[in-house]
Amino acid sequence: QAQPVESGGGLVQAGGSLRLSCAVSGVTFSISAMAWYRQAPGKQRELVAGISHGGSTNAADSVKGRFTISRDNAKNTVYLQMNSLKPEDTAVYYCNVVLLGSNWATPLLPWGQGTQVTVSS
């Protein structure tokens, strides 16, 4: 069964950067919209950013101007470049194949393990 595999998380100081990667097999990646989500301790999972199969992107207000989502169809991989990280960005980050709207996304696959991002102050 298709499932995302996230990587690239770690511990970083506030103001630092990380680049997350997510590989997905078992789907026609080039025609799939993708999205990154995150879940902080004690909070619900929230949508961070999405990208259509054609490359159009959207992002949550809390990360606009700091996070950039991109994709490489040749590698079946979606990325999340995170700059100017803040302690409140600390969470487990997940990606998924989605149905994508202007400000919503519905995940279509089982969730992967995610990748932990911890931002120290």
pLDDT in tens, 45-103: 999 999 999 999 999 999 999 999 999 999 999 999 999 999 999 999 999 999 998 88
d(CA 102, CA 93): 21
Q: Is the pLDDT confidence value at 2 over 90?
A: no
- Residue 1: the pLDDT is 81
Residue 101 gets which letter from DSSP?
-
Integer Rg of the chain from CA:
13
According to DSSP, residue 102 is labeled S
Mean local confidence (pLDDT), 32-47: 97
Q: Count Cα atoms within 13 angstroms, Cβ side, for 62.
A: 11
How high is the pLDDT of residue 102? 83
- Indicate whether 21 pLDDT > 90: yes
The number of beta carbons lying within 10 Å of the beta carbon of residue 22 is: 27
